[in-house]
Amino acid sequence: MSSPEAETSPSLENAGSSFRAASAKGIDPSTLLAGQQRLLELVARGATVHETLSAIARFGEETLPEMMASVLLFDPESQSLRKGGYGRNLRPEFQEAIDGMLPGPQAGSCGTAAFRSRRVVSLDVTTDPLWEPFRPFAAAHGISSAWSTPLLDREGRLLGVFGMYYGDCREPSLDDLTLVDHVAHLAAIAIERDRNEMERSSRASTDFLTGFGNRRRLSDLCERISADALARDKEHAVVIFDIDHFRLHNDLVGQHAADDLIRETAKRIAAALAGNGTLVRYGGDQFAVLMTHPAAEARELTAEILQAIRQPDGELASTLTLSAGLARWVPSESSVDVAAAQALEAVDLAKRLGRDRCVVHGERATSGAGQRGVVARMLKQALDDDALEAHFQPIVRLGDTSIKGFELLARLRGAARSELMPAVFIPVAEQSNLIDIIGTRVLRIAFRTLAEQAALFSGMTLSVNVSFRQLLRDGMAEETTAMAASFGISPEQVVLEVTESEWLDGDTPAPDVLVALKRAGFGLALDDFGTRHAALSHLQTIPFDHVKIDRSFTMQLDETPRGQALCEAVVAMSSAFGMKVTAEGVETESQAAALRAMGCQHGQGYLWGRPASLAETLALLQGSRPG
């Protein structure tokens, strides 16, 4: 027996019509009102769809005590009916048994109702042909009759099925069907609202360039895994992929073609991954994959991906290779952020070792001392050969994007040495007195540049990084001031950037040295703010003029509300102390607009320019000056 299609338009504005119709049929209106109010309260406090549907099923059972109620969700991807919500009268074995049921022309009451998109009433399951394949199941669970109503959205698309089961054979009355329609209507509201929320969340966690997920999707997935009692103790793997020589691609073919390269790379990684993990764009030219495999299996899969990427492809004008870093992750032992940081360290090492390879975090730890020794020897030779130079990256005023100054970044001349980026050689230098030599030479380059190119750099400042080892050296403030005087440069033209660390606290001389430099006229900037040690105490005790927001915060502006909140907090705190703020790592117009809106004064990043040689910087300034 089947009856006309139920009205299940899932909008709260129409919920009252269902309520009035049910009341008119003699059903206690206070009971219906209580059930509807319960749904609204669950929605208001953000209850899960499963919690809401279970409450609806229990409401149905309370209204008709002899009934057993279920609400099944239709999964468009698998085209099956999945667990939704259940009343108290259905045993867990029943719930597990029907999970994954496929709609069909002879699939019991629920499966057939979903297939027909019409209500199905089986008065006696022992004789109804629809129940022939399921009669032993029905007998085992004490089911003699069943009424099932499809839940449809306003376009008539299937959302799920509301099922009612009885231990005796019975035919629904008009009052019964009216109640069913009311309960089904409430269930449809809950399901469609949940789907709308999921769609909004999906849009927020989708990378607009590639169509794959972004960091937010990875974070959300890892939070769910960490909360899953069965999954949180299992070993997973986080893999970071980085496109080799992407900067060269970008410089040679331009941004639009480089964007095409990123899109194509994402597609090829996904194809090679073949569903064995979750792929997201991690940022820039980096991708992250979360694999639910132990590290050993994940390494084999990563090797297969790298091999597949190497194969020529008609979509790409040049051979493509990737560097990969892999880290083990067990949710119960650490956060995924730790594993991601380890994977990033590993991918950096993969690039230093020649690119187009995978490095597993920790496997090369034993050879780390040897690797550092190689870097130290190359660095010392470069200093002996006077091969250290500075590249200049513009710092702009966010209000009008005019250049207010440049940060000087140490680089090594020579083909072999150019592979040693600051992220590689600076940590090695900091473990010896080489960092003192590098810092002094970059300061000298800054003073010489300001002296020799006074007209072009008029009104601008040059920012130079100062290491903690320099601050601990006796006489550092006096020597720096004397060096500026020897070039005829006012200290006000130079900003000294200090990365926050424990050396700024306690009994070290570093804070006193910074105060002395400030009194001499140098500007002071706190670099990489918020990423390391006791940031707020530094703002309170050391007279910084500027605070620099770390690029890891800036990158999140396009991805998560947390990124926006972090940047706003830094700007607010810095402003409270009378300091100006520079955001590092700005790569998009939307990031710049967000920073401008929150009151950030200055920006630095690829949006306005990559670090460039002195000659390229002078050409830039000459081209921007009138006449």
Rounded to an integer, what distance in angstroms lies between the CA atom of residue 161 and that of residue 71? Answer: 6
More confident of the two residues 488 and 44: 488
What is the phi/psi pair of residue 246, to 5°? Answer: -65, -35
Alpha-carbon separation of residue 617 from 276, 453, 534 (angstroms): 47, 11, 36
The region of weakest confidence among 173-182, 523-532, 554-563, 574-583 is: 554-563
- Evaluate if residue 11 carries a pLDDT over 50: no
Q: Confidence band (pLDDT; 50, 70, 90) for 16?
A: very low
Is the pLDDT reported for residue 497 higher than 60? yes
The C-alpha angle with vertex 202 and arms to 309 and 36, in degrees rounded to 5, equals 155
- What is the pLDDT averaged over residues 440-448? 94
Q: How far apart are CA 216 and CA 213, in angstroms?
A: 8
Secondary-structure class of domain 2-202 per CATH: alpha beta
CA dihedral 445, 448, 452, 456 (to 10 degrees): 60
- Helix, coil or strand: residue 32: helix
Lowest mean pLDDT among 33-42, 203-212, 252-261, 378-387: 33-42
Count of other CB atoms within 10 angstroms of residue 61: 18
Instruction: Tell the burial category of 216 from Cβ atoms under 10 Å away from its Cβ (0-12, 13-18, 19+).
Output: buried
pLDDT digit string, tens, across residues 103-139 = 999 999 999 999 999 999 999 999 999 999 899 989 9
Alpha carbon distance 381, 383 (integer Å)? 5
**What is the reported pLDDT for 196?**
80
Question: What mean pLDDT do residues 499-521 have?
Answer: 78
Q: Which long-range contacts (CB under 8 A, 24 or more apart) does 25-32 make?
A: 25/174, 25/175, 25/178, 26/175, 27/63, 27/175, 27/178, 27/179, 31/62, 31/63, 32/182
| Termini Cα distance of the chain | 89
Q: Is the pLDDT of residue 15 over 80?
A: no
Q: How confident is the model at residue 150 (pLDDT cuts 50, 70, 90)?
A: very high
Q: How confident is the model at residue 365 (pLDDT cuts 50, 70, 90)?
A: very low
What confidence score (pLDDT) does residue 367 get?
47
For the residues 416-441, what does the mean pLDDT come to? 74
- Most confident range (mean pLDDT) of 40-54, 192-206, 300-314, 389-403 is 389-403
Other CB atoms within 10 A of residue 99 CB: 14
Question: pLDDT at position 495, please?
Answer: 96
What are the two backbone dihedrals, phi and then psi, of residue 136, each rounded to the nearest 5 degrees? -60, -40
* CATH code for residues 389-624: 3.20.20.450
State the pLDDT at residue 51. Answer: 86
- Rounded Cα distance, 270 and 135, in Å: 44
- The mean-pLDDT minimum among 2-16, 34-48, 69-83, 183-197 falls in 2-16
Q: pLDDT higher for 564 or 76?
A: 76
pLDDT at position 30 over 90: no
CB under 8 Å to 327, separation ≥6 — which residues? Answer: 237, 238, 239, 295, 339, 340, 342, 343, 346, 360, 361
- pLDDT for 17 equals 40
When comparing pLDDT for 258 and 139, which is higher? Answer: 139
Q: What pLDDT is attached to residue 542?
A: 82
The pLDDT-based confidence of 501 (bands split at 50, 70, 90) is: low
pLDDT cut 90: percent of the chain above it? 37
Place of tokens 């953000």: 46
Q: What is the mean pLDDT of residues 3-32?
A: 42
Confidence of residue 355 (pLDDT cuts 50, 70, 90): confident
Give pLDDT, residue 350.
85
Instruction: Determine contact, residues 239/339, Cβ cutoff 8 Å.
Output: no
Question: Where does CATH 3.30.450.40 sit in the chain?
Answer: 2-202
Main-chain dihedrals φ then ψ at residue 28, nearest 5 degrees = -55, 115
Where in the chain do CATH 3.20.20.450 domains reside?
389-624
Predicted confidence (pLDDT) at residue 445 exceeds the cutoff of 90: yes
CATH fold label, 215-363: Alpha-Beta Plaits (3.30.70)
The per-residue pLDDT for range 511-559, each reduced to its tens digit, is 889 999 999 999 999 887 755 444 556 667 788 999 998 887 787 787 6
Residue 3 has pLDDT above 70, yes or no: no
Average pLDDT, the chain: 82
Mean pLDDT of 311-325: 68
Q: What does the pLDDT look like over 32-71, one tens digit per residue? A: 666 667 766 776 666 788 888 888 888 888 887 788 989 9
Confidence of residue 613 (pLDDT cuts 50, 70, 90): very high
Whether the Cβ atoms of residue 436 and residue 469 lie closer than 8 Å to each other: yes
Of the candidate ranges 130-139, 248-257, 328-337, 492-501, the one whose mean pLDDT is the lowest:
248-257
- Quickly list H helices, 154-210: 174-204
pLDDT of residue 18: 39
DSSP-derived secondary structure letter, 6 = P
The pLDDT value given to residue 227? 84
Of residues 41 and 194, more confidence is placed in 194
Q: How far apart are CA 419 and CA 461, in angstroms?
A: 29
Helix (H/G/I), strand (E/B), else coil: 345: helix
- Higher-confidence position of 30 and 521: 521
pLDDT score of 29: 64
What pLDDT is attached to residue 1? 39
CA distance 103 to 109: 10
Question: Could you tell me the CA-to-CA distances from 315 to 97, 264, 320, 612 in Å, in that order?
Answer: 47, 8, 11, 31
* Region of residue 593 (phi > 0: left; psi between -120 and 50: alpha; otherwise: beta): alpha
Stretch 177-204: mean pLDDT, rounded?
A: 81
Residue 485: pLDDT above 90? Answer: yes
Question: Residues 385-420: pLDDT tens digits?
Answer: 888 899 999 999 999 999 999 999 988 876 455 556
Closest CA relative to residue 62, chosen from 42, 83, 91, 88: 88
Higher pLDDT, 520 or 274: 520
